[in-house]
Structure 1
Amino acid sequence: MSANPTSCKVVLAANIAKKLQAEVADGLAKLDRKPHLVGFLANKDPAARMYADWTGKTCIDNGFAFTLRECEREELEEAIRDANADDTVDGILVYYPVFNSSRDRTIQYIVDMHKDVEGLSPKLINNMYQNIRFLDPPHNTQKSILPCTPLAMIKILEYLNIYNTILDYGKRLWGRRITVINRSEVVGRPLAALLANDGAEVYSVDVTGVQRFSRGQGLRNQQHVVEEKPDMTMEDCLAISDVVISGVPGDKFKVPVDKIRDGAVCINFSSEKNFTPAVKEHASIYVPAVGKVTIMILLRNLLVCTAMARYFRSLTPSQLSALKSLETPSNTSNHPIASEENTSTPPIDSMLSSSILPERIDKTNVETLLNETADELKRMVQNNPDVDAKPAEAIERAGTVEETVSTAKAAA
């Protein structure tokens, strides 16, 4: 990626968000009522208050219903459980931080996965790291939600043509080196994993040092691996990166723009300005903020949650019980983030493929298939050479029951 360093193009998030906004409007028009998002504010953080106000305004402006529920942080868990059980609530959003990172993680566990517009529930995080597309295999009608900001970054990179659409899914970032300055478990680390799973060589930078996320030479691994790079500095990463993404909170941090490779693409997702104006002397493209893209992703996720709720209400109790039996991550005793390292025994749903579907799908044989024992499902998959991890970008592709069955019949 080379460019005249004096010809930097500034791309605004509002322009990128327009297509997503049109998609959201189309989805909303197909519903008979407004999806209802409930936000929980249990802290005194001015930034959280500002985000809550902005979320509410954006929801209302785009035809969604929004309620902000404020409570003391000790009351938050009970308030979330009440919203989980409330059929008038389609999506739940918690404005973090509330306590500390470990206790906030517990709050993420409490939010009903089917109402989690942020994509932070254990199952959703587990699916993201293992590149699992759907919550309800094998009929694959309910998408697994991705965290808003990491997915927004993917959409921005697609808009900027950083993804090479000539290549197959899972390889479209092959040859790209990307530095992500932030390794939070909400944004930076998931983003690095998603980019690496799509073929990029990602350098993840935080105060503890540098890690490299990649799928190995020639993309030989189906999923990314993480390597510590103790001999590398942030400046080393900047010098070799095609894309630099920064999201460091606080106004004291600035990316050393003089170390950025000329012609690089630079994106800021922090609420602060991580790049000085001098970035335009080196970058070919600069995206100064991403908030308007992120909020559109949140509304898209809310639409998915609303559709998911309708789907579950259509199931019989036995079908619902059978389906939910496959929705528990196999490693719930561990921190969900660590699931990326544990690929030897993926959960059942990551091993299912369309080729094991019956020729005719209806509620009866779906229920029968879902009630198969774990050992039988494993045996079926082990005999299926077509099982493969799905790249992060492919998670966004729609898959209907009819398409899945057609694929299965064609394969047969």
Structure 2
Amino acid sequence: MNAQIIDGKAFAQGLRERVAERTAQFSERAGRVPGLAVVLVGEDPASQVYVRSKHKATVAAGMASFEHRLPAETAQDELLALVASLNADDAVDGILVQLPLPAHIDENAVIAAISPDKDVDGFHPVNAGRLATGLDGFVPCTPLGCLMLLKDRLGNLSGLDAVVIGRSNIVGKPMAQLLIRESCTVTVAHSRTRDLPALVRRADIVVAAVGLPEMVKGDWLKPGAAVIDVGINRVEGKLVGDVDFASAAPVAGAITPVPGGVGPMTIAVLLRNTLVAAHRNAGIAFEAGTL
């Protein structure tokens, strides 16, 4: 068996195109364009790359991009004041504060300061609570992108056994909640789980988001399983995932590569969430459809 490759890059490109079409429709109706504000504190090289990519994609989708670049020594109160001003700005529909922040700034305090209605990253405790209780709210971009890829490949997920390896607030926990919503039977595992390979072998769906290079081996997998690899690790100058692709691909039914799998979905879903926020802030009903 050779797994089908789940082409996240192609799916994300299609999603961005659909978002751009819907953005044009929104702008014509609302008389303004959706706006996304991105705040970067410091000069972390990876964060700078992400921010540039987000700016380029936002503009390409027909949205307004507001960039705020602050020096690493920016005081927490100054950052919170900026967030408060963005909360009050009607031209801004979504706010994203790029993580990680410098050590002297409390990330949780900054995330909590963002209006839940503009929290397009889906990290605010209110949105996390909405997801956990089945209410409507913003969902973190990466797990929502993973779910889109799974549903596009498998269709109805109801009744499938899923294992999520990783328990972060950014990926693992919201991923589990999304799969529960789809009526999967979900187990959340992690690096300290006892006999993790045996647990994974029972799963129809495996989402690896633990941050350990090539940890999940092919002989861990149930033949035909769908494998979503969220990991991005640099090993000897090469990007690899949390799944050992070479051994997993002959066993899995479908698998995301690294790079080119989950990664491109994150910004595409961010644009989608910003469009949803713009509709809500304008009092216009949003019909998900293919979004």
User: What is the TM-score normalised by the length of structure 1?
Assistant: 0.60
Q: CA RMSD in A?
A: 2.4
Structure 2 counterparts to residues 62-141 of structure 1, below 5 A: 62-71=61-70, 72=72, 73-74=74-75, 75-98=78-101, 103-133=106-136
Please state whether the residue corresponding to 2:227 is helix, strand or coil: strand
Please state whether the residue corresponding to 1:156 is helix, strand or coil: helix
- Residue number in structure 2 paired with 1:283: 252
- Residue number in structure 2 paired with 1:146: 139
Please state whether the residue corresponding to 1:160 is helix, strand or coil: helix
Please state how far the C-alpha of 1:61 moved relative to its aligned partner.
Answer: 2.0
Please state whether the residue corresponding to 1:41 is helix, strand or coil: strand
- Residue number in structure 1 paired with 2:183: 199
Task: Tell me how far apart the structure 1 counterparts of residues 131 and 138 of structure 2 sit (CA, whole Å).
Answer: 8
- Is 2:224 the partner of 1:263? yes
Q: Identity over the aligned pairs, expressed in percent?
A: 27
Please state how far the C-alpha of 1:256 moved relative to its aligned partner.
Answer: 2.2
Q: Deviations over 1:87-143 (max 9, x none)?
A: 22221111112257x93222111001221111222222111110013xxxxxxxxxx
Count of aligned residue pairs for this structure pair:
268
Closer/same/farther in 2, CA of residues 207 and 280 from structure 1, 3 Å limit: closer
Are the aligned partners of 1:16 and 1:159 in contact in 2 as well (CA < 8 Å)? no
- Residue number in structure 2 paired with 1:9: 4
Please state whether the residue corresponding to 1:281 is helix, strand or coil: coil
Task: Tell me how far apart the structure 1 counterparts of residues 161 and 106 of structure 2 sit (CA, whole Å).
Answer: 34
Q: Deviations over 1:165-185 (max 9, x none)?
A: xxxxxxx421x1111111101
Are the aligned partners of 2:12 and 2:264 in contact in 1 as well (CA < 8 Å)? yes
Structure 2 counterparts to residues 234-253 of structure 1, below 5 A: 234-249=196-211, 252=213
Please state how far the C-alpha of 1:397 moved relative to its aligned partner.
Answer: 5.6
Are the aligned partners of 1:263 and 1:282 in contact in 2 as well (CA < 8 Å)? yes
Are the aligned partners of 2:217 and 2:247 in contact in 1 as well (CA < 8 Å)? no
Please state whether the residue corresponding to 2:275 is helix, strand or coil: helix
Who wins on radius of gyration, i.e. which is larger? 1
- Is 2:8 the partner of 1:23? no
Are the aligned partners of 2:17 and 2:61 in contact in 1 as well (CA < 8 Å)? no
Please state how far the C-alpha of 1:245 moved relative to its aligned partner.
Answer: 1.1
Please state how far the C-alpha of 1:43 moved relative to its aligned partner.
Answer: 4.0
Are the aligned partners of 2:24 and 2:62 in contact in 1 as well (CA < 8 Å)? no
Are the aligned partners of 1:152 and 1:293 in contact in 2 as well (CA < 8 Å)? yes
Q: In structure 2, what residue type is equivalent to 1:268?
A: D
Task: Tell me how far apart the structure 2 counterparts of residues 309 and 396 of structure 1 sit (CA, whole Å).
Answer: 15
Please state whether the residue corresponding to 1:154 is helix, strand or coil: helix
Q: In structure 1, what residue type is equivalent to 2:182?
A: D
- Residue number in structure 1 paired with 2:238: none
Please state how far the C-alpha of 1:263 moved relative to its aligned partner.
Answer: 1.5
Task: Tell me how far apart the structure 2 counterparts of residues 397 and 49 of structure 1 sit (CA, whole Å).
Answer: 31
Q: Deviations over 1:44-82 (max 9, x none)?
A: 433222211111111122222213212235232222112
- Residue number in structure 1 paired with 2:54: 55
Structure 2 counterparts to residues 299-318 of structure 1, below 5 A: 299-311=271-283
Are the aligned partners of 2:40 and 2:47 in contact in 1 as well (CA < 8 Å)? yes
- Residue number in structure 2 paired with 1:296: 268
Closer/same/farther in 2, CA of residues 43 and 178 from structure 1, 3 Å limit: farther
Please state whether the residue corresponding to 1:77 is helix, strand or coil: helix
User: What is the TM-score normalised by the length of structure 2?
Assistant: 0.83
Please state how far the C-alpha of 1:158 moved relative to its aligned partner.
Answer: 0.9
Task: Tell me how far apart the structure 1 counterparts of residues 222 and 228 of structure 2 sit (CA, whole Å).
Answer: 14
- Is 2:195 the partner of 1:233? yes
Are the aligned partners of 1:39 and 1:95 in contact in 2 as well (CA < 8 Å)? yes
